[in-house]
Amino acid sequence: MPRTAVPALVGLLLLAGGAFAQGEHRHHEPAAASDEHAAHAAQPMRAWYGPYAATRESSGTSWQPEASPHEGLHARFGDWDTMTHGFANLIYDEQGGPRGDTKTFMTSMLMVMGNRPVGEAGTLGLRAMVSADAAFGKGGYPLLFQTGETADGRTPLIDRQHPHDLFMELSAAYSHRLSERSSVFVYAGLPGEPALGPPTFMHRFSGEDNPEAPITHHWLDSTHITYGVVTLGYVIGEVKIEGSLFRGREPDQNRYDIETGKLDSASVRLSWNPGKSWALQLSRGHIKSPEQLHPDEDVDRTTASAIHHRDFGDAKWQTTLAWGRNSPTHAEATNAYLLESALTLSRSHTFFARAERADKTELFLPGDPREHDSFRVGKLTGGYIYDFVMEGRFKVGLGGLVSKFNVPDELHPVYGASPTSFMVFARLRIG
C-alpha cells in the first residue's frame, strides 16, 4: 500500500477536481434557462454549525475570521452543497547543524465535504480527509527540535515530524437552528478533531502555504487527528461554546488503520468573532495518556489564540498569534508561543513567515540524563511560493523557505550555536 498511496492520492486529487468541476458544470449549464435555478446555483455554501457565513468555519468545529477565503472547488448536487480541497507537496528538506538531516519526500491531503438541509431548521454534514504522508516512511521528515509520537512503537521521534495517518478525518455533524442568531450542534468523528486549540496549522490561511509543521504543534493543535471524538456546541451570534469527549492517545505507528478506544479525555472551548476580520478562542483540555511511550502521563492543555484577516484589493493578509501550555502529570509545565503571517498578492505571489518559541523536552533518548530536561528554543522562518493558476481549478506552485534557530548554550555541542535549515518545494493544489 505505501508504494501506491502517493500516485493513488494524486489520482484522487485529479478525479475529485474533475468530478466537482463536472458537478458545477451540470448545475450551471441548465441554470441559464431559469433565473430561479441560476440564483440557486450562485448561492454560497451553507455553514455547518450555525446561522452565519460558511467562511467562518475551519478545521473540526473551530472558527476562523469570517473574512477568510473559503478556497476549494464548490458544487451543488441536488440538496447537497459540496467542496473539495487538497494539495500534494514534493519537498527537498535540509536541516542544518550536527543533528540535521536531508530528505526528499511528499506531504499530501485530500478533503471532500458536503452538507444538506434537514427539515426547516436542520443541517447534516459529512467530511472525509485522507493523506499519503506515511508512504514516505513511518519516520516522517527531518525537522529540528520537533518531538512526539514514534515510528516503531519503541523509539521516540526526535528532530523529526511524524507523518499523518491515511485517515485524517471521517466525521458527521448535525446542527439545528434555534433562531436567526442561535443554534445547537453535535459533531462526531473517527477520526475527528475535538474542541481544543486554534484551527489546525494546515487549515489556517496564515500557515497553510508553509509546508513544514510548527515546532509548537504539540502545544496547540496536535489533537487534530483523534480516533474518537464527540462534540456538543451552542452558537449565539458571534459566540460559540462547545465541549468534547475524545480519546486522548495520539495515533500510533500503524498509519493505515482505524484505532478505537474509550473516550477518556475532555475539553471545552470558547470562541468569539467580534467582527468579520477577527477570530478569538480560549480552550482547556485534559488529555489522557497522549503519548504511547509514556502511558502513565496525562496532560492538561490550555490554549489561547487570535487570528486577524484583512483584504486589500487583490491582496489577502492573515496573522495568527497563539499560546499553548502543557502541564504533564509527572513533569513541570511548559509553554509555547507562535506568531505566523501570510500575504497573498494577485493569487500568485505568497509570502509567509513564522516565529516560534517553545520549552522543548524529550530531545534526548530514554536513558540519557537530559531526557526530561526543558530547553527554551526559538525558530524564525520566512518563505515564498509562486502559483501558476490553471483554469481556476488547480494551482501549481514553486517555493522555498529558510529557518534560523535560537539555541540555548547548553545545547550548542548537540545542535550547534545557530543552525540554518531550508526547504524547496513544488505543490499541486485544488482550489
Which residue type is seen at 244? S
Predicted pLDDT of residue 2:
42
Q: Comparing C-alpha atoms, which of 403, 340, 86 is closest to residue 199?
A: 340
User: Is the predicted pLDDT of residue 399 greater than 60, yes or no?
Assistant: yes
pLDDT at site 311: 95
Check if the beta carbon of residue 180 is closer than 8 Å to that of residue 131. no
In terms of pLDDT, which residue wins out, 9 or 242?
242
Instruction: Domains for the chain: give ranges and CATH numbers.
Output: 2-430 (2.40.160.10)
Q: What is the mean pLDDT of residues 32-41?
A: 41
Alpha carbon distance 397, 429 (integer Å): 8
Q: For residue 151, what pLDDT is reported?
A: 92
Asked if residue 191 has a cis previous peptide bond (ω within 30° of 0), the answer is yes
**What cell does 164 get?**
499523518
Q: Dihedral sign for Cα 286, 289, 290, 291, please.
A: positive
pTM of the model: 0.90
In order of 132, 140, 193, 429, the CA distances from 7 in angstroms are 9, 18, 27, 15
**Distance (Å, rounded) from C-alpha 431 to C-alpha 113?**
14
Phi-psi sector, 19: left (phi>0), alpha (psi -120 to 50), beta: alpha
CB 223 within 8 A of CB 283: no
Say yes or no to pLDDT of 26 above 80.
no
| % of the chain with per-residue pLDDT over 70 | 90
- Mean per-residue pLDDT of the chain: 90
Is pLDDT above 70 for 296? yes
**How many CA atoms does the CB half-sphere of 143 hold within 13 Å?**
22
For the packed helices 35-42 and 2-31, what is the interaxial angle rounded to 10 degrees? 150
Average pLDDT on 376-383 reads: 98
- Residue 331 or residue 288, greater confidence: 288
Share of the chain above pLDDT 90, in %: 84
Q: pLDDT for 314-363, tens place per residue? A: 899 999 999 999 999 988 999 999 999 999 998 899 999 999 999 999 99
Q: What grid cell was written down for 417?
A: 550555536
Which tens digit of pLDDT belongs to each residue from 180-215? 999 999 999 999 999 999 999 999 999 999 999 999
SS3 call for 50: coil
Give tens-digit pLDDT for 74-105: 999 999 999 999 999 999 999 999 999 999 99
**pLDDT at residue 306, rounded to an integer:** 98
pLDDT on residue 392: 67
The one-letter code for the residue type at 115 is N
427, pLDDT greater than 80: yes
pLDDT of residue 403 exceeding 90: yes
Strand-strand pairing, 349-360 and 375-390 = antiparallel
Cell numbers found for residue 23: 458537478
pLDDT at 391: 73
What is the pLDDT, as a whole number, of residue 390?
Answer: 78
pLDDT above 50 (res 37): no
C-alpha–C-alpha distance, residues 72 and 78, integer Å: 19
Question: What is the spatial distance between Cα 158 and Cα 156, in angstroms, rounded to a whole number?
Answer: 6
Q: Which of 276, 275, 300 is nearest to 290 (CA)?
A: 300
Higher-pLDDT residue of 371, 363: 363
Number of C-beta neighbours around residue 158 at 10 A: 16
Q: Which of 104-108, 244-248, 330-334 comes out lowest in average pLDDT?
A: 330-334
User: What mean pLDDT comes out for the span 402-428?
Assistant: 97
| Per-residue model confidence (pLDDT) at position 43 | 57
Strand partners, 55: none
Per-residue pLDDT tens digits for 115-167: 999 999 999 999 999 999 999 999 999 999 999 999 999 999 999 999 999 99
Residue 34 has what pLDDT?
A: 41
Q: Which residues touch 81 (CB under 8 Å, ≥6 apart)?
A: 45, 46, 74, 114, 115, 116
Report whether pLDDT(420) > 60: yes
Rg (CA), the chain: 21
Please enumerate in sequence order all residues whose Cβ is within 8 A of that of 296, keeping only pairs 6 or more positions apart, or say none.
289, 329, 330
Pairing of strands 278-287, 229-236: unpaired
Q: How far apart are the first and last CA of the chain?
A: 27
